[in-house]
């Protein structure tokens, strides 16, 4: 669940960042994809850490 939250947050954050920098649609899509991947990987590591700590 943390991975999916990271994915959605990354999409919103990346697209918003590109829009603030006055980027076009392609820029917003690229930023959204890059930040979605980044935050999904971070969410994956957090999930692994939480899972191992709970056992």
Please give the model's pTM, rounded to 2 decimal places: 0.89
Which positions of the chain have pLDDT values less than 50?
none
Res 55: pLDDT: 79
Question: CA angle 51-55-4, nearest 5°?
Answer: 15
Predicted confidence at residue 43, as pLDDT, reads 97
């Amino acid at each position: 669940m943390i991975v999916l939250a990271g994915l959605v947050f990354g999409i919103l954050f990346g697209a918003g960042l590109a829009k603030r920098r006055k980027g076009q649609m392609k820029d917003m899509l690229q930023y959204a994809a890059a930040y979605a991947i980044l935050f999904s990987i971070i969410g994956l590591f957090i999930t692994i850490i939480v899972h191992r700590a709970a056992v």
